[in-house]
């Protein structure tokens, strides 16, 4: 029974196939959110959109193609680690803020610790770099459990990446300008695997070098180069979107505060 997408070595065909493990995983996340994390329609919209992006990344066809093409594998990475986590965290944010005061000391300390840019930077990049090492990819992607482990680690790394910028007030450690700088710096280490993928003389991953071809036009070498380019030309802008959202939220808040100050100062005093 194939419950999770992995590299099978079977020739690729454009024919839908079910991956019940993916559905179960998403259903469990959805249930846990509904039961414990839901907090109004906006949080449900955010979390639902995050789940939708996860579904696109994990299910047929992208999830299945991830066992054949390095470019598809990179597409999965961007959705799982870069696009879905901020939405999932935004969905949970109000409830986590409520929990903030009631969490035990240990749990609260962990969430506060992880909201610091240092641990988040190390945690995200360690996972990102390790899960792109050829030995790890070639070794894990050929089994469903290994493939699930990579996907799960990516989701975890994405949550680490965005927690310092999405964390609600009780755990909040850095202000908007530092958040934007932090996110920009986070995009730098990914340049390393991207450069290897683009500039390496020969394909890095034997899995994708020897996999049955999906299309004759995309040779293993081109596939690796596309994957590397995607990491920078698509992956980075995904993070920049978050930076832009932070900037405009911050600018709007500052403007409202300025207006409030100005209108307060202009109000005539009596007495």
Partner 1 sequence: MVGGTADVRLGAACVVAAALTGCSGRGTPELAGDLGGALLPAAVARPDFTLTTVGGESFDFRTRTAGRLTLLFFGYTHCPDVCPATMANLGAVLRGLSTTERALIDAVFVTTDPERDSPAVLGPWLAHFEPNLIGLVGSAEALREAQIAAGVGVAARQDTPGGGYAVSHAAQVLVYSPDDSAHLSYPFGTRQAQWAVDLPKLLERWKGPVR
Residue ranges in contact with partner 1 by CB under 8 A: 9, 11-12, 201-203, 206, 209-213, 216, 219-221
Of the two residues 216 and 266, which places its CB atom closer to partner 1 in the complex?
216
Planar angle of CA 174, 166, 56, nearest 5 degrees = 145
Two tokens at 16? 């839908």
Which residues, including other chains, have CB under 8 Å from residue 36's CB and lie 6 or more apart? Answer: 95
Of the two residues 157 and 225, which places its CB atom closer to partner 1 in the complex?
225
Listed as own residue / partner, the contacts of 38-42 with beta carbons closer than 8 Å and 24 or more positions apart are 38/95, 39/94, 39/95, 39/98, 40/94
Of the two residues 11 and 139, which places its CB atom closer to partner 1 in the complex?
11
| Smallest distance, partner 1 to C-beta of residue 187, A | 29
| Smallest distance, partner 1 to C-beta of residue 199, A | 14
| Smallest distance, partner 1 to C-beta of residue 65, A | 15
Of the two residues 175 and 212, which places its CB atom closer to partner 1 in the complex?
212
Of the two residues 225 and 242, which places its CB atom closer to partner 1 in the complex?
225
Listed as own residue / partner, the contacts of 41-44 with beta carbons closer than 8 Å and 24 or more positions apart are 43/90, 43/91, 43/92, 43/93, 43/94, 43/95, 44/91
| Smallest distance, partner 1 to C-beta of residue 24, A | 30
| Smallest distance, partner 1 to C-beta of residue 243, A | 38
Helix axes 105-114, 117-130, angle to 10 degrees: 70
């Amino acid at each position: 029974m194939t419950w999770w997408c992995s590299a099978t070595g079977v020739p690729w065909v454009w024919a839908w196939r079910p991956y019940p493990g993916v559905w179960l995983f998403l259903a469990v996340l959805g249930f846990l959110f509904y039961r414990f994390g839901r907090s109004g329609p906006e949080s449900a919209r955010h979390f639902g959109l995050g789940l939708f992006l996860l579904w696109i990344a994990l299910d047929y066809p992208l999830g299945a193609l991830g066992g054949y093409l390095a470019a598809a594998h990179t597409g999965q990475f961007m959705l799982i680690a870069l696009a879905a986590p901020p939405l999932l965290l935004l969905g949970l944010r109000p409830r986590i803020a409520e929990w903030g005061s009631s969490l035990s000391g240990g749990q609260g300390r962990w969430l506060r610790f992880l909201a610091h840019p240092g641990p988040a930077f190390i945690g995200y990049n360690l996972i990102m770099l390790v899960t792109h090492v050829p030995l790890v990819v070639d070794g894990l992607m050929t089994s469903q459990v290994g493939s699930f482990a990579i996907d799960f680690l990516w989701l975890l790394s994405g949550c680490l990446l965005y927690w310092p910028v999405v964390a609600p007030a009780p755990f909040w450690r850095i202000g908007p300008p530092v958040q934007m700088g932090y996110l920009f710096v986070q995009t730098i280490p990914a340049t390393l695997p991207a450069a290897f993928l683009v500039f390496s003389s020969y394909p890095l991953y034997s899995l994708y070098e020897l996999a049955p071809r999906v299309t004759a036009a995309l040779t293993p070498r081109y596939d690796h180069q596309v994957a590397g380019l995607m990491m920078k030309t698509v992956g980075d802008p995904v993070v920049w979107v978050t930076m832009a959202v932070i900037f405009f939220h911050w600018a709007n808040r500052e403007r409202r505060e300025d207006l409030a100050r100005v209108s307060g100062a202009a109000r005539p005093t009596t007495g």
